[in-house]
A and B are shown apart, each in its own frame.
Chain A
């Protein structure tokens, strides 16, 4: 057995750090922008919600409420692995 770490392990850890998965839920009229595999959507850790929405071509003017893990958040919040993200447009009918 060698005391030296396998260089391959280090490479693997770095790759793990560079990707994170979030669960993304777009509500009402924004549903049409839902990407494939939204329940386990790959992002670069630290990506902000605004950047994520731009990447998905969601019109930011239509986004009225953003929440992460059940708490309302600013669009500039950076995302991390395991975050559950919800996005609401203005819903006003009855």
Chain B
């Protein structure tokens, strides 16, 4: 970071006041974009420099009571691969882009269709027929132009996933069937990256986090060889309230992973059923 840039950031910072009366130095989104253009770098790099100088980018000011400036800068310096950009993926991406994770690799070869409209945030009347990865990149651009997104309009395969995953700090499994989840888990393990997985069928869902050395998804699904069918969602569908809830749990786990926090759903599973408000953390190992 050049000292000229730091001086620019400090001169453009303004005093702001938090809801509890705490005064802090803040940098507006307009100033972030101006400086990003002036120094020809991504907005998130301006934001990281500001945070390191104790200046809070205004767009993250409501995060500042749960994330220290150092933690917010760490998230902005981190990257996540999101595989599957349907119900879970669209919600996860929306949350993480607003939270301020700095770089995304987003993978999906599918296009939006009308049956996606009930739950998939990236699916609108205007994106029907459009590729999901492309729509994801467009959405992030309008939510938070400071962060960087790399779209891959292709389906996950054994051959292509590891090379993409290796670039990121964490992998988020937002796929729509059990078989592909095992393909992604193998790729994440091979690349040595933690995987945050969630799945939904009807009002039931679960979430867990798998590190490369963990037994992983077989603790939930049994052996992949014994699987018949894609999962109970083919019978029960995917209503939006269950999808959004599990996506929020995934976002929370991603933060835990990136900031090295305790309380991870590692070798444990959060089981949810919205029909009777069951929320239980199950020990799997």
Contact = CB atoms under 8 A, between A and B. Distances in A.
Interface of A: 25, 27-31, 61, 64-65, 67, 70-72, 86, 88-94
A93 B220 contact: no
A86 B238 contact: no
What is the interface of chain B mostly: helix, strand, loop, or mixed? mixed
Interface in B185-231: 198-202, 204-206, 219-222, 226-231
A35 B26 CA distance: 58
B178 A92 contact: yes
A88 B175 contact: no
B153 interface: no
Contact of A91 (B84, B231, B281, B285): B231
Interface of B: 84, 86-89, 174-178, 181, 198-202, 204-206, 219-222, 226-238, 243, 246, 269, 271, 273, 275, 278, 280-285
Contacts of A31: 275
Nearest to A66: B282
Contacts, number: 108
A27 B280 CA distance: 12
Nearest to B234: A93
Contact of A27 (B181, B204, B222): B204
Contact of B200 (A25, A88, A94): A94
A90 B199 CA distance: 9
Nearest to B231: A92
A93 B280 contact: no
30 contacts: A25-B278, A27-B271, A27-B273, A28-B202, A28-B236, A29-B201, A29-B202, A65-B219, A65-B221, A65-B269, A65-B282, A67-B282, A70-B282, A70-B283, A72-B282, A72-B284, A86-B271, A88-B204, A90-B229, A92-B176, A92-B178, A92-B201, A92-B230, A92-B232, A93-B234, A93-B238, A94-B88, A94-B175, A94-B200, A94-B243
A72 B285 contact: yes
A90 B221 contact: yes
Given A28-B201, A67-B282, A92 B181 contact: yes
B227 A90 contact: yes
Given A92-B230, A93-B176, A93-B233, 4 more contacts: A29-B232, A90-B232, A91-B200, A94-B238
Given A88-B206, A90-B231, A71 B283 contact: yes
Nearest to B177: A92
